[in-house]
Amino acid sequence: MPVLVMKFGGTSVANLDRIRRAAKRVGVEVAKGYDVIVIVSAMSGKTNELVGWVGETSPLYDAREYDAVVSSGENVTAGLMALTLQEMDVPARSWQGWQVPVKTTSAHSAARIEEIPTDNITAKFGEGMRVAVVAGFQGVSPEGRITTLGRGGSDTTAVAFAAAFDAERCDIYTDVDGVYTTDPRIASKARKLDKIAFEEMLELASLGAKVLQTRSVELAMRYNVKLRVLSSFEEQSDAAGTLVCDEEEIMESNVVSGIAYSRDEAKMTLISVADRPGIAAAIFGPLSEAGVNVDMIIQNIAEEGRTDMTFSCPTDQVKRAEKAMADAKARGDINYHDLVADTDVAKVSAVGIGMRSQSGVAAKMFKTLSDEGVNIKVIATSEIKISVLIDRKYMELAVQALHDAFELDKA
């Protein structure tokens, strides 16, 4: 029988009533003839509660025990979902990560999936099981310890299972009914997209859109897994939600598909850095080692052997970046006059595969912002993306203006 993967997020399984609702959706797909693999998250709020308990018990906790505790939320949901399906006369069984097994690296709380052998679950399907309910977010290390994949890891679990079992599709059920041209809370004209290309979704996810975890989109693109994002709380239909698929499956795309934003950005500038070969490596090597996620990078024109280097990073990593630069300066690896941090900026981005073949997108974006009196501090581009850093107070205005300028409310 064909395999379908269905993933239910925390809000979709927040209580027993919602688990029953989700189970009914699974039952509909079983009735269509699918063998179904259901990936579940912990009930809404439970992971935060478990993380809080760990921190309260042991501020400098053992990462292995952290994973043992925080992974338990998914085990509860998986068992309850399997019991609910059994009450509906649907043959179901729950599976924890180590039982499948979901083989991962040993990087506790940030493990990566290395292999998902299909033998165990396939054998049970052959014996009459119709639904395998798998605890998302977790796996097992080569040492036999429970691991977790990081926040949002259940999305990655779902896509990995879809790839491993050559599933027809991977449905991600959440509290939104699809992927929108921008955040509907900011732009009332935001429109739900019927389809979006993997590359566009990857850019939107990395730029701040919270619909899908970035790693899950990367995995789907690599293995060409069709993803469908849809709501657990709306009527079930084959046309519901947004399909994330290969670019070739989309007849014709708008030049810009979406406007993304990230509110918590910081702009950091190293003033008067020695302009010499290897200086970039001397700056960004220590930042990488310190776990600072650098995004935009600009080097100003050098004057008399000195230059300024500007980069952006999340605001919660500013202190880490400052320490990494101070340590590098103390070691003599780099020499600079000052490090200035501006933590009152936001990143706004226009994304679309149509940019590859259409000129004038950057000019239109910059003119739109200029007309609204929004000053651009930093610009970064890729083949299908243009991002700018602006003062945070203008973020919502910029998103709305760009959404209107590129007429994203029109199909």
Express each pLDDT in 189-227 by its tens digit: 989 898 999 999 988 887 766 678 888 999 999 999 999
pTM of the model: 0.82
Amino acid of residue 392: R
pLDDT at 302 (0 to 100): 65
- Residue 293, C-beta contacts closer than 8 angstroms, at least 6 positions apart: 313, 314, 317
* Order of strands across the sheet that contains 297-299: 297-299, 306-314, 258-274, 338-351, 385-391, 376-382
Is the CB of residue 245 less than 8 Å from the CB of residue 226?
Answer: yes
- What are the residue ranges of CATH 3.40.1160.10 in the chain? 3-175
State how far the Cα of 355 lies from the Cα of 349, in Å rounded to an integer.
13
Residue 345, strand partner residues: 265, 391
**What tokens were used for 332?**
């003599």
Q: What is the total residue count of the chain?
A: 411
State how far the Cα of 172 lies from the Cα of 7, in Å rounded to an integer.
5
Q: Is the dihedral of CA 84, 87, 88, 89 positive or negative?
A: positive
Is it true that domain 259-405 has CATH number 3.30.390.50?
no
pLDDT at 208 (0 to 100): 60
Residue 147, strand partner residues: 139
State how far the Cα of 115 lies from the Cα of 120, in Å rounded to an integer.
13
Crossing angle for the helix pair 63-70 and 46-57, nearest 10 degrees? 150
**What tokens were used for 94?**
């729950």
Is the CB of residue 256 less than 8 Å from the CB of residue 361?
Answer: yes
Binding residues: 7-10, 47, 74, 174-175, 180, 185, 210-211
State how far the Cα of 88 lies from the Cα of 113, in Å rounded to an integer.
32
Strand, helix or coil at 363? helix
pLDDT at 251 (0 to 100): 67
**CA angle at residue 35 from 33 to 41, to 5 degrees?**
130
pLDDT at 306 (0 to 100): 87
pLDDT at 245 (0 to 100): 87
State how far the Cα of 4 lies from the Cα of 154, in Å rounded to an integer.
16
Pick the CATH number of 3-175 from 3.50.50.60, 2.40.50.140, 3.40.1160.10, 3.30.300.30: 3.40.1160.10
**Closest C-alpha to 240, from 160, 174, 322:** 174
Binding residues for substrate: 47, 74
- Residue 225, C-beta contacts closer than 8 angstroms, at least 6 positions apart: 159, 162, 163, 167, 170, 219
- What are the residue ranges of CATH 3.30.2130.10 in the chain? 259-405
pLDDT at 229 (0 to 100): 92
**Closest C-alpha to 148, from 206, 66, 81:** 66
Binding residues for ATP: 7-10, 174-175, 180, 185, 210-211
Report the relative pairing of strands 306-314 and 3-8 from DSSP bridges. unpaired
Residues of the chain short of pLDDT 50, as ranges, are none
